[in-house]
Amino acid sequence: MADALTEKGSARSWRAPRLTLRQREAIEAWLFVSPTVAGFLLFFLGPLAAVVYFSLTEWNLLTQQATFVGVKNYVDALSHNPDFWHVLRNSFVFAMGLVPLNMALALSLALALSRPFRGVIFFRTVFFAPVVTSAVAWAIVWRFLLQGEGGAVNQMLALVGIDGPNWLREPDWAMVAVIVTRVIKMVGLNMILYIAALQAIPRDYEAAARLEGASNWQIFRMVIWPLLAPTTLVIFVITMIGSFKVFDHIYLMTGGGPENGTLVLAFYIYEQGFKFFNVGYASALAMIMFVIVLVLTVVQMTLRRRDMQ
Amino acid sequence: MTLTVRQARIIARICWTVALLVVAVPFVFPFLWMVSSGFKSATEIFGQPSLIPRVWRWQNYLEVFEYQPFARQYFNSLYIAVAVTGLTLVISSLAGYALARMRFAGAGLLMLFLLSALMVPEEVTIIPNFFLIRWMGLMDTHAPLILLPVFGSHGVMATFLMRQYFLAIPKELEEAGKMDGLSPFGIWWRIALPMSRPALAAVSIITFLFSWNLFLEPLVFISSLEKFTLPLALSNFTDSYGLPLWHLQLAATSLAVVPILIVYLIAQRQIIESFALSGVKG
Specify the pTM: 0.91
Give the CA distances from residue A129 to residues A134, B28, B32, B207, in Å, rounded to whole numbers and listed in that order: 10, 8, 13, 17
pLDDT value, residue A141: 95
* Average pLDDT score over chain A: 88
* Interface mutation target, options A21, A23, A40, chain B, most CBs of B under 10 Å: A40
Name the residue in chain A with its Cα closest to that of B28: A126
Domain B69-236 coded CATH 1.10.3720.10: yes
pLDDT value, residue A148: 82
Domains of chain A: 82-277 (1.10.3720.10)
ipTM for the predicted complex: 0.91
| pLDDT per 10-residue tile (average), chain B, 282 residues | 80 90 95 92 78 85 92 96 97 95 90 86 92 95 96 92 92 89 91 94 95 95 95 89 86 95 94 82 36
Q: Give the C-alpha separation, B182 to B184, whole Å.
A: 6
Asked if A132 and B260 come within 8 Å (Cβ–Cβ), the reply is: yes
What DSSP state is assigned to residue A168?
G
Is the four-CA dihedral A135, A136, A141, A145 of positive or negative sign?
positive
pLDDT value, residue B22: 94
Helix, strand, coil distribution of chain B in percent, nearest 5: 75, 0, 25
Please, how many CA atoms are within 13 Å of residue A290, restricted to the half-sphere of its CB? 20
Name the residue in chain A with its Cα closest to that of B207: A132
How far from the centroid of its chain's Cα atoms is residue B41's Cα?
31
Give the CA distances from residue A217 to residues A117, A192, A220, A223, B10, in Å, rounded to whole numbers and listed in that order: 21, 22, 5, 10, 21
- Return the beta strands (E) in chain A as ranges: 57-58, 67-68
Q: Give the C-alpha separation, B67 to B49, whole Å.
A: 26
What DSSP state is assigned to residue B46?
G
pLDDT value, residue A189: 94
What DSSP state is assigned to residue A275?
I
Residue ranges in chain A modelled with pLDDT below 70: 1-17, 307-309
pLDDT value, residue B280: 46
Largest Cα separation within chain A, whole Å, is: 100
pLDDT value, residue B98: 95
Chains A, B: CB contacts under 8 A, how many? 261
Q: Give the C-alpha separation, A96 to A19, whole Å.
A: 57
Put simply, whether B241 touches A (Cβ < 8 Å) is no
Q: Give the C-alpha separation, B147 to A43, whole Å.
A: 8
String of DSSP letters for B107-152: HHHHHHHHHHHHHS-HHHHHHHHHHHHHHTT-TTSSHHHHHHHHHS
Put simply, whether B147 touches A (Cβ < 8 Å) is yes
